[in-house]
Structure 1
Amino acid sequence: MAGRPELSSALRAIEGVTDAQAIGDSLAEPEAFAVLFDRHFDAVHGYAQRRVGPDLADEIAAETFTRAFDRRRRYDASREDARPWLLGIAANLLRRHWRSERRRLDAYARSAEFEAGGDLAPPVAAELAAALRALPRREREPLLLLAWADLSYEEIGVALGVPIGTVRSRISRGRARLRGPNLDSHRPQEAPNNG
């Protein structure tokens, strides 16, 4: 383990840099890329897990960072935060697994294990899973990046490679499609405004 102390000191030395700087540094010192893994693995893995479950999430997350490392020379250094870029890579990988995703959502809906927000009753969760499954991928993807990865509209645009206006319209259309009579009946009623 003679090389490990050097790695630890290298990681400590670049801990305060932006993602863009860490990527740039990794071109000369590949171990500097570990900072991105440390910073963003949980976000990438969590997003993948919510989309495809734990079985494929490890594979998607690992492949995301492998591809990011391989493509780091092409990273836009004007973007300090690499999270949208990484989640965009993950989203592209997830598109390749869309059949698996569809089967998994079907299984979640049947078994009532789907957790859309954690507080939904099994029948509502199953309805939401079915509604999400029915959305066109171009509308489902930005909605899930917003809800499950907690990205801003701008970050979703970066992740998907589309303008922010396109993100807004896709999210709006997706939300409108999700507002069906079955799901609306389960929404909490707003308190009347007495003021």
Structure 2
Amino acid sequence: MAAVTRALAAEEVSDAAIIEHSWRDPERFAAVFDRYYVQIHGFAAQRLGPSLADDVAAETFLIAFDRRERYDLSREDAQPWLYGIVANLIARHHRAEARRYRALSRTPRGEADDGHADQVAGRVDAQARQEPLMAALAKISDAHRDVLLLVAWAGLSCEEVAEALGITSAAVRTRLHRARKTIRAALDRAEPTTTGEDR
């Protein structure tokens, strides 16, 4: 029973409190790793592929551990801070990321397997959009791609993206708008009869 109480108490402790405790007891930082590793690794894998994701995710937490004493304790949630670190590491691999998107844009569309008609239709629709979407992601600037994917794939708010990247919320909204406009245009060119509303 005591172990369950301790586990529940650990879940309620803010990231900032854990990081502050880790200044004196470094092993406490493992709780931050446990909370966010899967998300950070998943984000890196989506952007760079599985071969680089392990290294990038591990390096993200090594850097975070080394910088933990400089963490702004007024920010209870460490997730934007970690995404900022991983985004900077991914930027070092921007060529690999662009190559990945170009390769995905050329990936032949797989045949839909048997199943429910709606699932098959959804799968075919997603496959049809993959090529232009990946090609557009490969072409947009790194700064716009970072903002777009932190919102779309990591699920961060504009304010959290601003914190992660060290830019203003206004800059995030501007970059997000431009990135979305570019992606929409690419998808519209690929599907000239589809309206934005249909999407």
Q: TM-score range by the shorter chain?
A: 0.7 to 0.9
Name 2:189's counterpart in structure 1: 182
Q: CA deviation at 1:17?
A: 1.1
Q: Counterparts of 1:149 and 1:173 in 2: how far apart (Å)?
A: 19
Whether 1:131 aligns to 2:132 is: no
Amino acid at match of 1:185: P
Q: Counterparts of 2:57 and 2:11 in 1: how far apart (Å)?
A: 21
Name 1:5's counterpart in structure 2: none
Amino acid at match of 2:69: R
Q: CA, structure 1 residues 123+158, in 2 after alignment: closer, same or farther (shift >3 Å)? A: same
Q: Counterparts of 1:33 and 1:186 in 2: how far apart (Å)?
A: 52
Name 1:171's counterpart in structure 2: 176
Task: Give unpaired runs (5+ residues) of structure 2.
Answer: 110-121
Q: Counterparts of 2:191 and 2:164 in 1: how far apart (Å)?
A: 30
Secondary structure at 1:179's aligned position in 2? helix
Deviations 1:122-162 (A, max 9, x none): 34201110111111111111000010000000000011110
Q: CA, structure 1 residues 78+109, in 2 after alignment: closer, same or farther (shift >3 Å)? A: same
Deviations 1:78-116 (A, max 9, x none): 000000000000000000011111111122112148xxx
Name 2:14's counterpart in structure 1: 18
Name 1:143's counterpart in structure 2: 148
Whether 1:69 aligns to 2:65 is: yes
Secondary structure at 1:31's aligned position in 2? helix
Secondary structure at 1:168's aligned position in 2? helix
Name 2:104's counterpart in structure 1: 108
Asked if the contact 1:112–1:123 (Cα under 8 Å) also holds between the matched residues in 2, the reply is: no
Q: CA, structure 1 residues 66+107, in 2 after alignment: closer, same or farther (shift >3 Å)? A: same
Amino acid at match of 2:134: A
CA RMSD of aligned residues (A): 2.2
Q: Percent identity?
A: 47
Q: Counterparts of 1:94 and 1:174 in 2: how far apart (Å)?
A: 18
Matches within 5 A, 1:83-94: 83-94=79-90
Which TM-score applies when normalising by structure 2? 0.82
Q: CA, structure 1 residues 190+139, in 2 after alignment: closer, same or farther (shift >3 Å)? A: closer
